[in-house]
Amino acid sequence: MDGNIFQQYPKNDRSNLIAMLQDIQEVHGYLPEKEIRKVADHLGMSLSGVYGVATFYNQFRLTPLGKNIIRVCRGTACHVKNSANILMALENELGICAGQTTRDKLFTLETVACIGACSIAPVININDDYYGRVTVKEIPKILNKYKKQEQAVSAE
């Protein structure tokens, strides 16, 4: 899989840089330093050039992710409907700040500018599931669902 990414894109064609980084992140969940070096070699760019692009865009991460990614929408409609409190409740519940991963690597908490589901604000999205019209009271229940899943997996 990994080797394929480099075969897909022609050497020294810088226009594919973002697409390559996206593919690598798709595989690893983040951009490992080793891969960034490889990309720079492949495209004939300086390492700082690749790093500059990787840090410019919000999508790219340079640290590994937790098992479940929680994205809290911070769009205008969600903000008006108190998503700040939702975020705070999640931070309290998990004991981390937005952008961090819990120590047991179970959850990563992120904020997104807008998920685009403003009509059911406030929205959080965990992996591929959307939760609309979330209230602070529901947060522990939602998190427990994922914690239980994890326990079930480790029990096996």
Partner 1 sequence: MKSFIEKCCDQCWHSPSTPCELFVACSVEGPLCHNDDKCKEKYKNLNEALRYVSTDIPVIFIGMGTCGLASGADKVKSAIEEELVNQNINALIVPTGCVGYCAREPIVDIKLPGEDRISYCEIQPKDVKDLIKTTIIDKKVYKKKLLGSYGETKDGIPNIDEIPFFKRQHKVVLKNCGVINPNSIDEYIAAGGFKALDKALRILTPEKVIEEIKASGLRGRGGGGFPTGIKWELAHKKKSDTKYIICNADEGDPGAFMDRSVLESDPYRLIEGMIIGAYAIGASYGYIYCRAEYPLAIERLEDAILKCREYGLLGKNILDSDFDFDLKIKKGAGAFVCGEETALIASIEGKRGMPRPRPPYPADSGLWGKPTVINNVETFANVPSVINMGSAWFASTGTKTSKGTKVFALSGKVVNSGLVEVPMGITLREVVFDIGGGIPDDKKFKAVQIGGPSGGCLPDSVLDTEVDYESLKEVGAMMGSGGFVVMDEDTCMVDVAKFFLTFIQNESCGKCVPCREGTKRMLEIIERIPVRYGSNGDKTEQLQRFKGIIHLQRLAKVIQDTSLCGLGQSAPNPVLSGLRYFRDEYEEHLFERKCGAKVCKEILTYEIDPDVCNGCGVCLRKCSAEAIIGEKKQPHQIIQVKCTKCGMCFESCRFDAIKVN
17 vs 66 by CB, closer to partner 1: 17
Q: How far is the CB of 47 from partner 1 (least distance, A)?
A: 15
Sheet containing 124-126, strands listed edge to edge, beginning at the edge strand earlier in sequence:
107-112, 68-73, 124-126, 129-131
The amino acid at 127: N
Q: Does 130 bind partner 1 (CB under 8 A)?
A: yes
Spacing of C-alpha 69 from chain mean position = 6
> Is 97 within any annotated ligand binding site?
no
Binding mask of the shown chain, residues 38 to 77, with x at each position contacting partner 1 by CB under 8 A: --------------xx--xxxxx-------------xxxx
Q: Does 115 bind partner 1 (CB under 8 A)?
A: yes
Closest CA to 110 of 150, 36, 60, 146: 60
What separation in angstroms does the CA of 114 have from each of 46, 62, 75? Answer: 33, 22, 5
> Is 73 within any annotated ligand binding site?
yes
What is the contact surface with partner 1 in residues (CB under 8 A)? 14-19, 21-22, 52-53, 56-60, 74-81, 85, 88-89, 92, 112-121, 123, 130-132, 135-137
